[in-house]
Structure 1
Amino acid sequence: MKKMITFMMVIVLLTTVALTGCSQTNEPVGTDEANGEEAMKVALVVAGGLGDRSFYDSSNEGVERAKVELGVEARVFECRNDPSLYNDQLVQASQYASVVAVVGFEFYDVVQEIAEAFPEVNYIYVDNEIEGIPNLTTISYQENEGSFLVGAMAAILTQETSIEGIQEGKVIGMVGGMDIPVIRNFKAGYEAGAAYIDPEVKVETIFAGDFEDPAKGKESALALYSRGVDIIFQVAGKTGEGVFEAAAESQRFAIGVDSDQRYINPDVIVASMIKGVGLSIFESIERIQNGSFEAGKVYYYGIEENGVNLSFGGEDMPQFVTEEMKVQIEEIKGKIISGEIEVPGGK
């Protein structure tokens, strides 16, 4: 019944596209100057909105790069976390483009239904693993590998009592957006990385219950800092901005996620775990253009594929992670790639 209702909605939307409250970034149709053919059209559909300085912005960076380097035409469909708009925006994106990049765990069910309704469209769905739909390709990130590096770094820093603001309690923390598989995967790697450096380091975690609420992020972080936590890894999208505010107020430290977030406050954000959302979307579009794309499969992005990594900001920023620490982290990366270190998952 659910699929029948969705199918009927698609038919209605195909005949008359309803105006919605979601914003779209429109650009004129481009052409391939070399042969005069119309450029490939790409749509980016995000469950939230651009401007989060994290997950969604990273995905848009991949599309923007494809516009410059691959000559595609692109349009962004933002849903601003309104579930009533997910279906409609995916349909509109599918009418517009031959390639649709979908960002947000919220689309898990609807993207599978829409993909079946538009078999000629290539769907790239990030942060999930779905098989069996020939035109739906998913990208799964080994975030546990990246967060292992973060946990190791945080454990090293919490032992470094010469850094002002670091206490002797050996307690680090994490604020997750929601208690869902992908965030639990972050958590598993973070805890394992800390234990690799020092099994006595304690890890405290709070799930804020939202990816778009900085106030909840700040409240969660303040609670952790009150428990003696030195450093908090924020894995909460826009909610994580509140973690940075709490770090500044508490004179403690934080770690960014998805994009290099040190610029937001380099005095308290010691590093960021980069998640190559933009890279994976760009490479998928590139593969479609050159004919090497394998539709319907799952692409995995870990440390070896440059899908996850650490970033320490610009040289003009204060550096809390020393060169010696960075060498230690590089050694850990090599051991993960070689298989000497097996990183646990939390899905």
Structure 2
Amino acid sequence: MEGDNDRMGQSTGATNVERRTVLASGAAVVTGAVAGCLGGEEEGAETQVAIISSPAGFDDNAFNDNAVEGLEEASNDFDLEYTTVEETEEAQYESTQADTAESGYDLIVCVGDNHTDPLETNAAEYPDQNWMLINNMIDGADNVSGWIEMNNEMSFLAGVVAGVMTGQEFEHGDSATDPDESIIGFVGGEDIPLINAFEQSYIEGAEWVNDDVEVLTGYGGSFSDTGVANDVAESQIDDGADVIWHAASAAGGGVFSAAQDNDRFALGVDVDQSVTEDQYQDVILGSAVKALDEATYLVAEAVVEDDFERVVGEQNLSIEQGGIDFVVGQAFEGELPDAVQENLDEAVTAFENDEIDLTCGPTSC
């Protein structure tokens, strides 16, 4: 069933529930669907986990999918099954979280800071439910594992690479930089504090390596609409940007297509998008990444081992802990100027030595 109804399917180690549009009666339908996956004549795995998407939804080839990958790995290693609950309407998060909690999961993973306010309510309403919140934490909640990725550090690394590359004379295939201009771009999804922190930290990374760099910025207003992200990126390219980074989740494909159509370059986010968006690998110089899959795996493991207490409270992914990095795109391995890796190494060392002060934190400025 499609449209306003829920659709449930099976994949290896997982069940999937989509909730792109939730009506007043939809919560009951989804609760029944989730419970149906767990119940019935066939006995399921000992540990049951649900993961609720961010507004970008699953199949974003970035943030959401990376979180699922950790659960997929956990399902291979442990007696564990996971269910994906796709909810792209932020207004429905409180009811979606509650519906899922009523279904008896051992762990519910909430992807994205958009879940924070609703979870403050539901963590208290369901005190015996184990929750994982990605991109924030719930102060004082002893049933929430709150993971704050140092997105500001990740964004800084992207800025370092863009700032170096725009000052280099570089060609690959049909694409090339214009070192005489030193102009780069940033395309955000929604104009919210979290993505504003991405933007500002990216700018600071670029300026750290290039005093002359000009950074063009814009927002598409969506984490899923590739068309609007493409329009913003096209405009920046028209104004001289030769490297563009995005923090727009699934909408980022529009940035890659703009770079490809206009013989420029782009950078990926969260995962190695030269792999997940391999149709654009010829323009994706590299990606600023975070090990979110390792985080979801770790929390799932703690639940399996009945030791959730060890992951309660604020947890972090940072450069110092090895959870934040920059990876070169698969089509550019061994091809980028030496200055890229040299400056990345210097930036990592500076972070490890606490020598870089960023204007913004990992979730806002």
Using structure 2 for the length normalisation, give the TM-score. Answer: 0.81
Q: Which secondary structure does the structure 2 equivalent of 1:173 belong to?
A: strand
Say if 2:348 is the partner of 1:333.
yes
Q: Which whole-Å CA distance do the structure 2 matches of 1:59 and 1:236 have between them?
A: 16
- The reply on whether 1:65 has 2:73 as its aligned counterpart is yes
Identify the match of residue 214 of structure 1 among 222, 226, 229: 226
Instruction: Point out where structure 2 has 5 or more consecutive residues left out of the alignment.
Output: 1-25
- Residue 258 of structure 2 aligns to a residue whose secondary structure is helix
Counterpart contact for 2:268–2:287, Cα < 8 Å? yes
1:305 — aligned with what? Answer: 321
Per the alignment, residue 19 of structure 1 pairs with 29
Residue in 2 aligned with 1:200? Answer: 212
User: Which residue in the other structure is 1:188 paired with?
Assistant: 200
Determine the C-alpha separation between the residues in 1 that align with 2:334 and 2:165. 12
- The answer (yes or no) to whether the contact 1:232–1:255 under 8 Å persists in 2 is yes
Distance 1:259 1:182 in 2: 18
Match of 2:269 among 257, 260, 281: 257
Matched, 1:268 2:283: yes
2:239 to 223, 227, 250: 227
Distance in 1 (CA, whole Å) between partners of 2:244 and 2:110 is 29
> Structure 1: which 4+ aligned runs deviate by more than 6 Å?
21-25
What is the TM-score when the length of structure 1 is the normalising length?
0.85
Aligned mate of 1:166, from 158, 161, 177? 177
**Aligned residue among 56, 60, 80 for 2:64:** 56
Instruction: Write the distance in 1 (CA, Å) between the matches of 2:99 and 2:122.
Output: 11
Measure, in 2, the Cα distance between the counterparts of 1:324 and 1:217.
Answer: 29
Question: Is the 8 Å Cα contact of residues 284 and 329 (structure 2) preserved in structure 1?
Answer: no
| Letter aligned with residue 28 of structure 2 | A
Partners of 1:320 and 1:229 lie apart in 2 by: 21
Q: How much has 1:342 moved relative to structure 2?
A: 2.8
Of all paired residues, the percent bearing the same amino acid is 26
Alpha-carbon separation, structure 1, partners of 2:150 and 2:168: 28
Rate the CA distance shift 1:250–1:29 in 2: closer, same or farther, 3 A. farther
Paired letter, 2:347: I
Q: CA deviation at 1:85?
A: 3.9
Counterparts in 2 of 1:162 and 1:118: CA distance versus 1, 3 Å: closer
Aligned residues: 323
Q: Distance in 1 between matches of 2:67 and 2:33?
A: 16
1:89 correspondence with 2:96:
yes
Letter in 2 for 1:210: S
Cα separation, 1, equivalents of 2:33 and 2:233: 32
Aligned counterpart, 2:48: 41
Cα offset, 1:295, TM superposition: 5.5
The aligned residue for residue 153 of structure 2 is 145
C-alpha distance in structure 1 between counterparts of 2:211 and 2:33, whole Å: 48
SS at match of 2:85: strand
Mapped to 1, the partners of 2:94 and 2:104 lie a distance apart of 14
How many angstroms does 1:45 deviate by? 0.9
Deviation at residue 196 of structure 1 after TM alignment: 1.0
The Cα shift of 1:292 comes to 6.5
Distance in 2 (alpha carbons) for counterparts of 1:209 and 1:18: 30
Q: Which deviates more from structure 2 when the two are superposed, residues 209-218 or residues 319-328?
A: 319-328
Q: Please report how far the alpha carbon of residue 200 of structure 1 lies from its aligned counterpart in structure 2 after TM superposition.
A: 1.4
On the 8 A contact 2:134/2:147 being kept in 1, the answer is yes
Aligned residue for 1:19, secondary structure, equals helix
Are the structure 2 counterparts of residues 29 and 184 from structure 1 closer, same or farther at C-alpha, using a change threshold of 3 Å?
Answer: farther
Q: What are the ranges of 5 or more consecutive residues in structure 1 without an aligned counterpart?
A: 1-15, 32-38
